[in-house]
Structure 1
Amino acid sequence: MEKKVYELIDSYRDAYTEMLQRWIRVPSVRSDAEDGAPFGRDVRKMLDTAMEDARSLGFPVRDFDGYACDVTLGDAEEKIAVLGHLDVVPVGDGWTKPPFEGLIENGRMYGRGTNDDKGPALASLFAMKAIKEAGIPLKKSIRLILGCDEESEWQDMAYYGAHEQIPDVGFSPDASFPLINTEKGMLVLAVFAPVSQSGLKILELSTGDRVNVIPGECRALVEGNEDTAAQVRAYAEKTGLPYTAEVTDKGVWLKAVGIPGHSAYPEGKRNAIGMMLLLLKELGADGPIATLADKVGMEHDGRSLGCACRDEISEELTCNMGILKLENGKWFCTLDMRCPVTADQEKLKESAIGNLQGFEVYIGTQKPPHHVPAESELVSSLLAAYEEETGLEGKPMSTGGGTYAKVLKQGVAFGALFPDEEDLAHQADEYEEIDRLMLAMKIYANALIRLAAE
């Protein structure tokens, strides 16, 4: 890569840092739609902020009615796409740093979106700025598409694709380095059942905001007394799991403390809903709660649902219960399955439904797997950029996560998390090191030059 590009990127550090702080300070969690703001007021504010900043960097910007925007470098008809997102998941439990301030400590910027995905998306924009200011001649245009609904239903990409042709080739800076060329399929089930009229009486329980988050805490109010609390303490001691019980005049408040994370990466995490299901069954809950305890519980591989499977390309299926709520005399929960490339999703649905007798089961989201061959020009070019900038060997990987790479005919996920970094996406105290984001910026510039330059 030309020396001038490196020098320009190094000179952007302060401007990039200040701009990212401004982005982090917008709490762009999806909320109720308003006029001109299909994903809520805060997401609209974030989109406006990003567009204003892109224009200030000298790029033409288009607003797709609040669903997304695009930023283009070059005027060639053939385009390379970079797809990022501006929305974030809810804050969740366990934060010790302010989630929406862009606090910097010891070279780290803390905040929801620093890693997923505002930090990498903005790094891609500054990589484009370096290419532009260095005067690198392009044979293909570069188009950065910034969506606003990646963490929910991807309505943004559907709307964008209905109004503008999405480029065939590109990457999403929304995962890990070296490169992810295989994404598992996604199958989300919405499950309903009437409350049991026998067994332990559960008065209140509402946990989880998103299907793709492993809950870190679950609380439930049940009928009971000090004897109930004693049972909870005994069960906590027997299992070694962190449960507590507080006796009140309304009943007994139970709490299960898990380890939160992204639903696609359950290893090392602990689902607090699964913990609560097992505790409720221990205390005498029957009917739907007992079934969910038996068929899901704290498993994350779908084994008791008859859905456990794996392949060599993408490894094991994962299953996460991200939401469990008691509403209007009915239980509602979600199951988020990330399915191996070779898995038959129809058979997985049949097996899950067959093991959830007495439940109404609906398909919430279903997405096919995505795979780009390792020998493709796209993969080899991006890995070459990664290797040149890091000095590390690059090999393609698979993931249970779902990125915008899926909307491209030939798309991969490319950074910005490095192999030795802890993945804090969707977790408390999410942060990214500014040095690493600047290195990612150089990798993105290198990659885009390889893909688009003459």
Structure 2
Amino acid sequence: MIDFLEEVYKRKDDIIADIEKLCRIPSVLDEATANEGQPFGAACKEALDAMLEIGERDGFVCENVDGYAGHIDIGDEEAAFGILGHLDVVPCNKEGWNTDPYEVTIKNGKLYGRGVADDKGPLIAGYYAAKIIHELDLPVKMKTRIIFGCNEENGSKCMKYYFAKKPYPAMGFTPDAEFPVVYGEKAGVNFQITGEIERGNIIGIYSGTRSNIVPEVCEVYIEGNYKQYKDSFHQYLATHHLKGSVEEEGNHTKLTLVGKSAHASTPEQGINATTAMCHYLITVSENKLVQFIDECFYQDHYGEKLGIAYTGLMGPLTVNLGVLNYKNGHVSMIVDMRVPHEVNDEQLTKPIQAHLDGYGLLESHELGKALYIDPQSDLVQSLHSAYVEFTGDHTHQPQAIGGGTYAKSMPNCVAFGVEFPGTDNKIHQNNEEIAIEDLLKATAIYAKAIYNLIKK
């Protein structure tokens, strides 16, 4: 009987070294350096090249698909099993990291750094799982195609382009979520809200850079001397157990509030700095935008105030006010929602537009697609069986989540790991981490699961 975990541990140092190589690259979307062959910027291109170099080093056939994505073929069979991972990462906050986010730090049995858990570390885990099967010369009926893109965090344009050029594998998974296996994913939608609202004493409000992250910092520029806000703002921060600052900015004041970032699919795990700030601002301003945000979003992660709350088979609809830019009276905001598959477009649009009409705001959006794979399918059951074999966990069963992954990019594909139940890898947060033991165990689970599905 093959001891996949033992085989993984033999390659521990190589696995960590390859993760370190990828995580040194700050592969955040950079439209300023986007060009032919690097549609998502220079750093994403560098990460793509680095992953291809790993496959070439190990003697596998590799292909770069116009800088959007690439693949490594392990084996030469006609049919393919797909492992889909992404090389792009979300930005890092300027403050809050205890280590250099782009230099992997090993401490207390964990790897720390942007991408170690989302998704460079898990991608390498999937790669080594397939590589082990190949190196053991096990009889298989499919090759494993490791597919990696550079735009998962900003709409997955990479996979749309890739699969317009390349065929779908017969089945597959993406190591970009949680264990156990994920058979359902809510539909994603971004509401782009714009308009003009008289600014009153608010000069500007700025928060968030990505709609799929709960904004951690909100900055406000407001008319008046800082002394008229100092006491009330500090009292508000203390009452709500928040951090922030009041600064003199010439003849006006800058207020900064620090919340807690989290993934937009689980907004209840964060503290939205924007909505928390607006809850203070309603006490010192009559600005209508501040009122709108406080009335419709403050301490509401499930759309109850907007009139769109719904809980389906995949769980509740979730809402995250992810990005806000308000300057010279112009409003630009993005609201991220994760929507159960039972909810249609009209159920969202009518209640939301009714609220927007009251403030003269407009919206545009496109409801994405949900994912549902039969929990009793061979794919789901085989993956889950491998998970149970290495964990002994019969309590946690196949699940549905709010996060959107590459699994929606192709038929017969699901999300599978890498985060174990009861752990928090701080994905999209400061000090992203993964336990080395968890990473290696996941690699063994992947090897076993892949082999179960592709063996002759």
Does the pair score TM above 0.5?
yes
Partner of 1:341: 341
Worse-superposed segment, 49-58 or 67-76 = 67-76
Partner of 2:16: 17
Q: Distance in 2 between matches of 1:171 and 1:238?
A: 45
Inter-CA distance 239–16: structure 2 relative to 1 (3 Å threshold): closer
Worse-superposed segment, 8-17 or 122-131 = 8-17
C-alpha contact 1:217 1:256 (8 A) present in aligned 2: yes
Deviations 1:409-441 (A, max 9, x none): 221110011112114110000011112111111
Shift of 1:239: 4.6
Q: Distance in 2 between matches of 1:206 and 1:220?
A: 7
Partner of 1:202: 202
Structure 1 residue 430 corresponds to structure 2 residue 423:
no
Q: In structure 2, give the amino acid aligned to 1:413.
A: A
Q: Distance in 2 between matches of 1:195 and 1:354?
A: 17
The 3-state SS of whatever aligns with 2:285 is coil
Partner of 1:31: 30
Q: Distance in 2 between matches of 1:104 and 1:166?
A: 37
Note the 1:115-264 alignment, pairs <5 A.
115-198=117-200, 201-225=201-225, 226-237=227-238, 239-264=240-265
Among 432, 448, 452, the alignment partner of 2:450 is 448
Q: In structure 1, give the amino acid aligned to 2:23.
A: I
The 3-state SS of whatever aligns with 1:262 is coil
Structure 1 residue 321 corresponds to structure 2 residue 303:
no
C-alpha contact 1:193 1:288 (8 A) present in aligned 2: no
C-alpha contact 1:210 1:322 (8 A) present in aligned 2: yes
Q: Distance in 2 between matches of 1:179 and 1:285?
A: 49
Shift of 1:379: 0.7
Worse-superposed segment, 319-328 or 112-121 = 319-328
Partner of 2:422: 420
Deviations 1:106-125 (A, max 9, x none): 22111000000000000111
Q: Distance in 1 between matches of 2:221 and 2:96?
A: 21
Q: In structure 1, give the amino acid aligned to 2:332.
A: F
Partner of 2:351: 351
The 3-state SS of whatever aligns with 1:325 is strand
Deviations 1:263-305 (A, max 9, x none): 1112232100111121222211322221122112232111111
Partner of 1:64: 65
Note the 1:42-53 alignment, pairs <5 A.
42-53=43-54
The 3-state SS of whatever aligns with 1:401 is coil
For normalisation by structure 2, the TM-score amounts to 0.95
Q: Distance in 1 between matches of 2:145 and 2:263?
A: 28
Shift of 1:141: 2.0
Deviations 1:315-353 (A, max 9, x none): 111100110112454111111010112112331122212
Shift of 1:77: 2.7
Q: Distance in 2 between matches of 1:238 and 1:97?
A: 30
User: RMSD over aligned Cα, in angstroms?
Assistant: 1.6
The 3-state SS of whatever aligns with 1:95 is coil
Deviations 1:213-240 (A, max 9, x none): 0011111110112123233234345555
Q: Distance in 2 between matches of 1:174 and 1:410?
A: 16
Between the two proteins, the alignment pairs up a number of residues equal to 449
Q: In structure 2, give the amino acid aligned to 1:208.
A: G
Worse-superposed segment, 111-120 or 351-360 = 351-360
Q: In structure 2, give the amino acid aligned to 1:160.
A: Y
Q: In structure 1, give the amino acid aligned to 2:263.
A: H
The 3-state SS of whatever aligns with 2:188 is strand
Deviations 1:166-201 (A, max 9, x none): 224211100011111111111110101213153xx2
For normalisation by structure 1, the TM-score amounts to 0.95
The 3-state SS of whatever aligns with 1:435 is helix
Shift of 1:354: 1.5
Q: Extract unaligned runs of 5+ from structure 2.
A: none
Q: In structure 2, give the amino acid aligned to 1:436.
A: D
Deviations 1:368-405 (A, max 9, x none): 11111111100110011111122222510111100111
Shift of 1:97: 1.4
C-alpha contact 2:125 2:439 (8 A) present in aligned 1: yes
Shift of 1:244: 3.5
Note the 1:68-83 alignment, pairs <5 A.
68-83=69-84
Inter-CA distance 237–27: structure 2 relative to 1 (3 Å threshold): closer
Shift of 1:160: 0.4
Q: Distance in 2 between matches of 1:234 and 1:395?
A: 45
Structure 1 residue 266 corresponds to structure 2 residue 267:
yes
Q: In structure 1, give the amino acid aligned to 2:22.
A: W
Q: In structure 2, give the amino acid aligned to 1:176.
A: E
Give aligned-pair identity as a percent: 34
Q: Distance in 2 between matches of 1:315 and 1:161?
A: 30
Partner of 2:411: 409
Deviations 1:62-110 (A, max 9, x none): 1001000011122333221111000000002421111000111122111
Worse-superposed segment, 228-237 or 245-254 = 228-237
Q: Extract unaligned runs of 5+ from structure 1.
A: none
The 3-state SS of whatever aligns with 1:156 is helix
Partner of 1:380: 381
C-alpha contact 1:67 1:147 (8 A) present in aligned 2: yes
